Homo-oligomer: A and B are copies of this chain.
Amino acid sequence: MTVLDDSTAPGLVGPPNSHGPRRDPAPLLPDPEPVRILGTPAAKMFDTELQRELYRRLVLGRRFNQQATTLTRQGRLAVYPASTGQEACQITASMVLREQDWLFPSYRDTLAVVARGVRPVDALTLMRGHAHSGYDPYEHRIAPLSTPLATQASHAVGLAHAARLRAAADPETAEELVALALVGDGGTSEGDFHEALNFAGVLGAPVVFLVQNNGYAISVPLASQSAAPTLAHKAVGYGIVGRLVDGNDALAMHSVLSAAVEHARSGRGPVLVEAITYRLDAHTNADDATRYRSAAEVDAWRARDPLTLLERHLRAAGLLDDAGVAATARAAEDLATEIRAQFDNPPDPDPDSLFTHVYATPTSQLREQAAELAARRDADAYADAAEDEDEDEAR
């Protein structure tokens, strides 16, 4: 039964397929309340090892954010868009993926990249400034961090679609992979977001779109960004499932995201998840957040810090004690020490690398230009050496 089915209209021989498919919107719509587990009976059913693991990773994630921010103050990172306050989203986004899956991060998602196994110094290459990206996307199955907002969403769709095509052609080596694309609340306004969701819906591609709704796009609050009931409601417009979750509730995040990923993996189509969270730090170290939000607002969210919520719960449930907290804090310090060590030697990128990867094989134009730069650098080196000699002689 479709909305076009109009058997009363004389002469209409059933609904023309050109207007299909029409489906029941109800299962696609999110519940009005975001899914929460912490503080609900469901928390009791949640795997205890996983709870401890989530806690450990959140603590390390927070320490990562702090350490990276410190590196900017020391001038060892040019810029860092912290995900402080969003660690439950970042960590679970990586945890719910299997090895064969792909992650499509946005510029704020370094932590998710690190959580998937990339060395911190490599994940931070973009922000350090010696190269555009510091990890092999194929080794980790992570696309490079995407700065042009929402543009990576359709890449996720294409990759997931390609994997299904490949699997259909060659079931032997089939990978049932899922692509997870991370987008911000601001990013949902871009046409690219719309086009990606539409393609995903039409192709039925195994993609999960996770919107970390942290309330702001730099300074612009959600109210100036969207008038939708929730961002998750956008899903229905693409015939895909929309889900709303408390992004500061690590247990809820983990269960909603893993359900979404397995929904997509099992061929039941894409899912759009909106996680309601908050960026506790400024947009980046260069931003002044006091210009656009109140201390009271930040304080209110600090009280809903995903770490605090989880720690309180674990302690109450008897899954964590002072010793456990201390041990985890030590592990976090170890991570911080390791990161600092990774940043010990300032990078010294080779100018010749400017020309090597523009094309698979440099064009003759680029060979000329590379030679020109190399000659100039040789000449400079020679001049420097000569100057040194002059100085030596003068001494």
A interface with B by C-beta (< 8 Å) = 3-4, 8-14, 16-25, 28-29, 32-34, 39, 189-195, 198, 201-202, 204, 213, 215-216, 221-230, 233-240, 244, 269, 276, 278, 293, 296-297, 299-304
Contact = CB atoms under 8 A, between A and B. Distances in A.
Given A11-B300, A233-B236, A198 B226 contact: yes
B227 A202 contact: yes
18 contacts: A3-B244, A10-B303, A11-B303, A16-B215, A16-B300, A18-B223, A19-B213, A19-B215, A20-B223, A22-B229, A23-B227, A189-B195, A191-B191, A194-B194, A198-B227, A202-B226, A228-B239, A233-B237
In the complex, the 10 A-B pairs of residues with the closest C-beta atoms, listed nearest first: A191-B191, A11-B303, A227-B239, A18-B215, A194-B194, A234-B237, A201-B227, A25-B229, A18-B221, A237-B237
Contacts of A221: 17-18
A39 B12 CA distance: 15
Nearest to A296: B13
Given A19-B276, A201-B227, A233-B237, 16 more contacts: A3-B244, A9-B304, A11-B300, A16-B278, A16-B301, A18-B216, A18-B221, A21-B227, A22-B229, A24-B229, A191-B194, A193-B194, A201-B226, A228-B236, A229-B239, A236-B236
A234 B276 CA distance: 22
A301 B18 CA distance: 11
Nearest to A242: B237
B216 A238 contact: no
A293 B18 contact: yes
A191 B202 contact: no
Among A19, A32, A223, find the residue whose CB has the most chain B CB atoms closer than 10 A.
Answer: A19
A303 B230 contact: no
Nearest to A195: B191
Nearest to A28: B229
A18 B302 CA distance: 14
Contacts of A16: 215, 278, 297, 300-301
Contacts of A239: 226-229
Nearest to A25: B229
Contacts of A195: 189-191, 194
Contacts of A225: 202
A266 B20 CA distance: 34
Contacts of A233: 25, 236-237
A22 B33 CA distance: 11
Contacts of A32: 3, 25
A21 B227 CA distance: 6
A84 to B, nearest CB: 16
Nearest to A196: B191
Contacts of A3: 32-34, 229-230, 244
Contact of A21 (B4, B13, B223): B223
A236 B222 CA distance: 16
B229 A19 contact: no
